[in-house]
Every structure is written in structure tokens, then in C-alpha cells.
Amino acid sequence: MSDLDPDSDSVRLALELAWRDHHNARDQTWRAVQIEAVLGAGLVTVDAQFGKLAATAAAAMLVGLVGLFGIWISLHHRVLERRKFVHIVNFERFLRLQRKDLIPVAKEDSEGGVTLPARLSFWAVFNPRRRNTSVFILRIHVAVILFALIVLLARLYATRQATGGFGGV
């Protein structure tokens, strides 16, 4: 081994940090979903409490904007996840952990092997064959945005019915 080759302890530490980064990114992604859910509940509260189109529209735009940022965060974190898994697989190879009796190579064992996560596109939301956690999270973001739009359209309809136009803004 040359002076530039890493030792096993350094690689183990780097492997641990790569897993920690992956889990931290996933936690942040779920926190974004939680924030959207709270804002969605707040949208319903604002609409029920004020009953005004302007208040509901402002709250719905906030929920929609946070939903768009949530989509962006999810897509960004998938890129990070793919990069971290390249590191993880390489670290496992270096440490000779990828063996049938320990950590199977994905090509040998489709159930237990660590493999690179698939690329993620926003359009995967509409593909029923895509069923991984990242796509599920994207679907939640889209559902929250659609929920905000439905609440806004319902308030718009109610305002129009009550005033015969848009006079109750």
C-alpha cells in the first residue's frame, strides 16, 4: 500500500459519513413533507376562519410554493443519494464487505444487494410502475399542491355563488 492509499479505518469512517449524509437528506425530505402538511391544514383553517377569497388565495399560493420547493428538494436529494451510493458501494468493495455471506452484490442477489438508486424525474409521479419511496414523496408534494388548488377553487366557487360574481374578495 502506498502513502496515498487509504487505510481501512479511514474508509470505514467515510462509509459511515456517507450513510449519515444519505439519512440526513432523507430526513430533510420528509420534514419538507411535514411542513407542507401543516401548511395544508393551515390553508383549510384560513379558509374556514376568514371565508375570503384573498385570504384563501394567499394561503393556497404559500402551500403551492412550498410544494414546488418540496419537489425541487426531493429531486436534488435523489441526485445526492445516487452520489452517496456510488461512494458506499466503492467503500464496501474496498473493505471487501460485498460477499454472498455478508453484503451480496446486487447482480448476484436482487433482494439484498446494495445498488445505485434509479434516476428520478418529476414525470415518474405519473408512472404507476414507479413505486419507490422517492416517487411516493414526489406524489405527496403534487397531492398537496393539488389540494391547495382544490381549496382555492372551492372558495372561488363559493364566493361566486354568494355574491353573484367576485364581489366578496
Given a contact cutoff of 8 angstroms between Cβ atoms, the answer to whether 59 and 48 are in contact is no
Q: Which amino acid is at 89?
A: V
DSSP SS3 for 102: coil
Domain ranges (residues) in the chain: 8-163
Predicted TM-score of the model (pTM): 0.83
Nearest in space to 84 (alpha carbons), one of 95, 92, 72: 92
pLDDT surpassing 60 at residue 108: no
Beta strands in 109-169 (DSSP E): none
Q: Average the pLDDT over 81-87 and give the result.
A: 91
CA distances, 58 to each of 50, 53, 138, 162 (Å): 12, 8, 23, 20
Q: Which amino acid is at 83?
A: R
pLDDT surpassing 70 at residue 12: yes
Q: How confident is the model at residue 33 (pLDDT cuts 50, 70, 90)?
A: very high
